[in-house]
Amino acid sequence: MFIRKWTALDARANLIICHGIGEHSGRYDAFAFFLTSRGFNVFSTDLPGHGLHHGQRGYVDSFDDLKNAVVDLATAVRKERDELPLFLFGHSMGGLIGSRVIEESPNIFRAAVLSSPHLYSAKESVKKLLPVVKLVKKLAPKITFSSSSRFEPSDLSHNKLAVQRYIDDPYVHDRVSPNLFLGMEENIEMAFSEAERITIPTMIVIGSDDRVIDPSGARKFYEVLRSEKRFLEIAGGMHEMFADEERKDTLFEGVVSFFSEFL
């Protein structure tokens, strides 16, 4: 398993970052370095179908493969530093994956932050294409489609340099297979139906101006949570607030402050 690691000099906790669709763990360097300065060892992996993970970009056999990758990474981290509490930060699709992991395996993490989580269904917007997607899944499941029409790179951040880095990044892709798309939709439904299984403290973070994932899904998910919870809405924030020079400090400090409550 490929593991990217950022080490704190005087660690007080371990933290796993779960990245979003079409990206990879290397895009979180700045956030990870900040976390290490606050005493968090940081670990991440490139999810199946992404980054340096072997296999076809955008393809997964099952959405379970993504959840299992997070659980496997957590197992590896615990073997290395089991004496430290373990936290989870999931962004976008990683937020959806994180919600499902803490529902199904509530004892792995001490607390979780779901950042701009993919908790809003796209079924309605692609309703006419769903029969085609389901047919392709049966006949040619490894075919991938471009998701570039869903958003523009400029929708990610106010930081033009960060947007250009995203465009130029050779490990970023816009491919989505039927298994991945339908698996995400199924797990969005399951995230809501099983939200009561979440027992650990959970913080939801959204940007008020997110045009990539409708933040209303995250708001509704927060409402159905029954565990200890926090909600952070960053005014003017777009989808990738960790790349926004004007707002990243609010995100970074908010995450550290939340996790520090449970050390």
CATH number of the domain within which 117 lies? 3.40.50.1820
Q: At 155, is the secondary structure helix, strand, or coil?
A: helix
Q: At what angle do helices 93-104 and 178-193 cross, to 10 degrees?
A: 50
- Residue 246 to residue 142: CA distance in whole angstroms: 40
Segment 18-44 shows an average pLDDT of: 97
- Residue 51 to residue 60: CA distance in whole angstroms: 13
**Is 113 a domain residue?**
yes
Q: In this structure, what token pair is assigned to residue 28?
A: 């979180």
Nearest CA among 210, 239, 205, 38 for reference residue 113: 205
pLDDT in tens, 131-165: 667 767 777 778 888 877 678 999 999 999 999 99
- Residue 248 to residue 240: CA distance in whole angstroms: 9
Segment 174-195 shows an average pLDDT of: 94
pLDDT in tens, 82-113: 889 999 999 999 999 999 999 999 999 999 99
pLDDT at 127: 53
Domain count, the chain: 1
The answer to whether 203 and 175 are in contact (CB under 8 A) is: no
Domain enclosing residue 117, as ranges: 4-258
Give me the percent of the chain exceeding a pLDDT of 90: 83
Segment 173-188 shows an average pLDDT of: 92
The answer to whether 85 and 14 are in contact (CB under 8 A) is: yes
**Is 32 a domain residue?**
yes
pLDDT in tens, 226-243: 999 999 999 999 999 999
Segment 57-62 shows an average pLDDT of: 93
**Is 263 a domain residue?**
no
